Amino acid sequence: MSASIDDPPTSRSNPELQEQSPVRIDATLTVARQDLERLLTRRYFGATLEAIEKVLVPIPIPLHSIDPSIVRRPGTRHHSAAFTVLANGPWAELMTPGCTGKFVPAEYVKANGLWREIAKGRILSVDAVKGVAEGEIYLGTESNKSRLTEVLHHLTNQDFLEVDQYGASAKVLSALVEHAFVAKAVSEGFRARRMPADVARHIGSYYYYDYELELKGVVKRVEIKSLWGTNTQCARLIHSKGSGYSTSSCKFDTQDIFAVSLFLRSGNVNDFAFARSVPDDEKPYGLPRASQFEDHVNQNPPCVLGNGKWFSSIRDVWTLG
């Protein structure tokens, strides 16, 4: 993962700094911070660097207590456990029933550990007098009792509930993943073209894929996806319904290659798995069809590098027919 602006440069990341003294390195970092602040606050006039950080980086909230008893609450179809957090900290404005977040490990917040999602959390009630908010621990659509029991073994009072204060982090992550994908493609010798999110009717038809890659005159379509949040061993190959989609699974013929970000598994935006968008009953390296929709791919197939279906390099899937 790339070093943050607060990480001191090393000779490995920047050979030019190898012979510099600590004083000179500190001066270099100061200039870098000033340049970043000048760039951001010039574009977003009136905003401070601290405000921009709060928008881009979700806030970690310390856990107050965990109750691992698993129940199915009235009116729900999923299993959940319980937790509490203090409601009167710097995050007080977020303490509202319905607020959701992700449980992340203490070593990520307090040390140099990588980000990962342990489980999901949702605030259910707030006691303003006691200054405590109560919530549920769950796993989304796959929050069954056995999986939740397993996950609770990895969640402790030392961990944190991470809340996206302004709803920007998912979009930021998506953009960083795309940036990393383009850098990876270019480093492997490809030309990359980003498809617009929408196309005016007088220009052309809607693109059902994210990028075009070109190599020696050959062009292929790439759709960028992520892992399944509640089960990071599976890819999340879904598409919004409508525009010819009778189910939420991606169609095989709307892209040539799937590029799946492994961030939810590794915590590194530079990690990807690539697969060809063909059915496994036609090609041994293909992906399974969606049940009852043979033109669509299974929306959550296992994503395992090295299993003959998923590859770490674009070139590994480029020549597959």
pLDDT in tens, 218-266: 999 999 999 988 788 999 999 877 667 788 899 999 999 999 999 999 9
Confidence of residue 37 (pLDDT cuts 50, 70, 90): confident
Residue 111 has pLDDT above 70, yes or no: yes
Q: Residue 270 in contact with residue 180, Cβ under 8 Å?
A: yes
On the CB side of 47, CA atoms within 13 Å amount to: 18
Q: Are 244 and 308 in the same domain?
A: yes
The answer to the question of residue 46 being in a domain is no
Is the pLDDT confidence value at 86 over 70?
yes
- The least confident of 50-64, 191-205, 280-294 is 191-205
| CATH code, domain with 219 | 3.40.1350
Q: Are residues 210 and 305 in the same domain?
A: yes
Given 163, 192, 219, which residue is the final one in a domain? 163
Percentage of the chain modeled with pLDDT above 70:
88
Which residues constitute the domain of residue 246? 169-318
pLDDT-based confidence at residue 76 (cuts at 50, 70, 90): confident
- Residues with Cβ within 8 Å of 185's Cβ and at least 6 positions away in sequence, in order, are 192, 211, 213, 314
Residue ending a domain, among 163, 192, 211, is: 163
Computed on alpha carbons and rounded to an integer, the radius of gyration of the chain in Å comes to 22
* Across 146-157, average pLDDT: 93
284, 188: one domain: yes
Judge if pTM exceeds 0.85: no
Which of 19-23, 38-42, 164-168, 252-256 is the least confident region?
A: 19-23
Is 274 domain-assigned? Answer: yes
More confident residue, 187 or 12: 187
DSSP state of 244: T
Amino acid at residue number 311? F
68 token code pair: 């691992």
Same domain, 128 and 265: no
> Cβ distance 25 to 9 under 8 Å?
yes
Is there a contact between 296 and 252 (Cβ–Cβ < 8 Å)? yes
Q: 154: which DSSP letter?
A: T
In 57-212, which ranges are continuous DSSP H helix? 106-110, 145-152, 169-187
pLDDT number for residue 6: 37
pLDDT at 119: 93
224 shares a domain with 116: no
pLDDT at 3: 37
Average pLDDT for the chain: 88
Of the spans 20-34, 128-142, 153-167, 239-253, which averages the highest pLDDT? 153-167
296 and 271 fall within a common domain: yes
**pLDDT of 19 strictly over 60:** no
Q: Is residue 40 part of a domain?
A: no
Residue 122 lies in a domain: yes
Same domain membership, residue 224 and residue 123: no
- Pairwise CA distance, residues 161 & 136, whole Å: 11
Domain termination residue (choose one: 115, 136, 163):
163
Helix (H, G, I), strand (E, B) or coil at 127: strand
Q: Are 284 and 308 in contact (CB under 8 A)?
A: yes
Q: How confident is the model at residue 18 (pLDDT cuts 50, 70, 90)?
A: very low
User: Is 128 inside any structural domain?
Assistant: yes
110 close to 262: Cβ distance less than 8 angstroms:
no
Closest CA to 71 of 80, 62, 63, 58: 80
What's the pLDDT at 26? 66
How confident is residue 71, by pLDDT bands cut at 50, 70 and 90? very high
